[in-house]
Amino acid sequence: MTVQLVGAGPGEADLLTVRAARAIAAAEVVVFDRLVDRSVLELISPLADRYDVGKTPGQSSSQESTNELLIELGRSGRRVVRLKGGDPFVFGRGGEEALALTSAGVAFEIIPGLSSSLSGPLAAGIPVTHRGISRGVTIVTGHLIDGECNSFVHLANPELTLVVLMGVAHRAEIARQLILGGLTPDTPVAVIERAYTSSQRTVRTSLQRLGVTEIANPAIIVIGAVAAMSLNDITTELATAAW
C-alpha cells in the first residue's frame, strides 16, 4: 500500500483538489498537522485512525518521530494519508518525509495542495505579481536558523514581492533587515491571518510599523507594493504602466 502525502490547501475544504478529497475520504489512517482546517478533517471517515502530529510555535515536536510513524503505518497495509496544510513541499517538510519513506522502502504518492504562500494573499485580494507593480515573488521562511534570523538584507528588492511564512515572531528583525537592505520604511505590508477560514483577518501596515503591529499565528506576511492592493475592492487604483 502507498502512503499519500496530501496538501490540504490554505483553509476550508472546498479549496482541496478533487484527488486530495478522494484520498482523505478513502483513508484508513490519517496523520495530520495543526494547520489543517476543521472542515477538511470532517472529510475523514469516522472509522479511520487519526494521529495529530502538529507542531505549535515554541514547541519542539520531533520530525524524526513523525517519519518513523509514517514508515510504520506505511508497512501496515492500510490506506495512509499524511495531511499537511497548504502544500507539503513549500516549507512543509514533505521532502524530508518522502526521503524517509524511500529509504525505508515504503512507496508514496504526492498529491499537491494550494500553497498558502500564493493563495493566501489572494484571500485579501493581493496578487503576488502584477504587471507594472511587481515583476516577481520570493517566498521565504521567517524561522530561526542557528539562533539567528535568516538574512533578509539581500532580499530587499522594490521590484519584487516578498512573502514570509512563519515570520510573526521575528517580524521586527525581518523589517529592520529589509530597511537596512534598501527598502523604504513606508513599504506596504499586508498580513493575512488564518486565510480562507471563518476567522480570517487582514492587517495593513508599513515596513517600519510591522514590528509593533499586533498580529497572530498562523499568518502570511506580504511585503512590497502589491501589499497595498485589494482586488476585492473596486476602489483600488491599479498601476497602468507596463514593464
Identify the CATH class of 117-228.
Answer: alpha beta
Give the Cα-Cα-Cα angle 184, 186, 189 (nearest 5 degrees). 105
CATH code for residues 3-114: 3.40.1010.10
Residues of the chain with CATH 3.30.950.10: 117-228
Q: To the nearest whole number, what is the mean pLDDT of the chain?
A: 90
Q: How much is the pTM?
A: 0.88
pLDDT at 198 over 80: yes
pLDDT digits (tens, 9 = 90+) for 106-139: 999 999 999 999 999 999 999 999 999 999 999 9
pLDDT at 144 over 90: no
Q: What are the helix (H) ranges across the chain? A: 18-26, 38-41, 63-74, 94-103, 116-122, 171-181
Which residues are marked as active site? 33, 55, 166
- 63 SS3 class: helix
Distances (CA, A) of 197 to 2, 9, 37, 114: 31, 11, 8, 14
The closest alpha carbon to 41, from 70, 18, 13, 15, belongs to 13
What does the pLDDT average to over 189-214? 96
